[in-house]
Structure 1
């Protein structure tokens, strides 16, 4: 079985949210890219928002490999935290929860507990996944303490083979393709401003597509 975890934002996720038992997807492709690897026996996994859906299997795998794993979970508010019970069931060295509004765990962002772990010398490497600003500032925090950190990037993707070029990212001054070269890259080498700009390239078109879908789906258009 395959479990899908997503947030309803655009047309496609709106359609997925309306699926019922017995409905079908035409195709499912994956996994794409390269497996997540990190050096060191003491690692910290940072996940923000829907990125927690990726952070969980990464943390679980590191635990299975015998690493000492700490996890930092972050979200805007308590209701947007996911997989909390699953994280708590892992044999972690520490679990830190942050929310922007303080509705769960520590009020603030994931960089605060990350910085504390760095100051304590408690970790040898870090992995982060989530919104671009969260990953950018996690990278800056880790870099300040010379902590190696990798980021799992999720740029716009179309064919998953690297041929379309939509998933290109700038890493260390070179163009890379997240679906075949990634999705993990040295977070300190990512051009975060370029990535953030590319993520919003089709925001207007995405909004128009969603509105058109809603109009077609409402009773008066059936």
Structure 2
């Protein structure tokens, strides 16, 4: 990258692509878990192409000059094939376009959705250093299939769903993290299915139904 380009501002797509490249380098044995966690945190807060380049420079062959590329993720069938557009319509609420998902990013403080809320068709979450909590027990879903994109992190993504909902994790990867689900992978008739995809990285993904504390909080403990 030329010195002039090094000062250009990087966006979410470039930061996500850099994290994906760091994940591949760790899988190839080029980074230790501690180095991966440190560089992932730095990539998530990088502001320029130069800062991202510095995190990746020693992982590439000297002759390689290819730009950071987004990791391709297989679309969930039978949903239609979507194409990202650079500028989503201004009238569209976040979460109702693949190009403009509802984003919950837990850096060093948690992020959550709880209580009565509308779950949109497209969500993107990242539990970088603290928990992302998606509590859907009082929520309503706006579509039959909910696309949940998970970006690599080092903390926990927790999904809590009502009885009848489904959570599918087949397209969700990990590095040294863990993925657990106590929810059926298929939804009951008339209920939504959450399709989780992407990678938890060093973090944890958990999907479960209501526990005793949740039912007591909602007045359903009898």
TM-score (norm 2): 0.30
The answer to which structure has the higher strand fraction is 2
The answer to which structure has the higher helix fraction is 1
TM-score (norm 1): 0.30
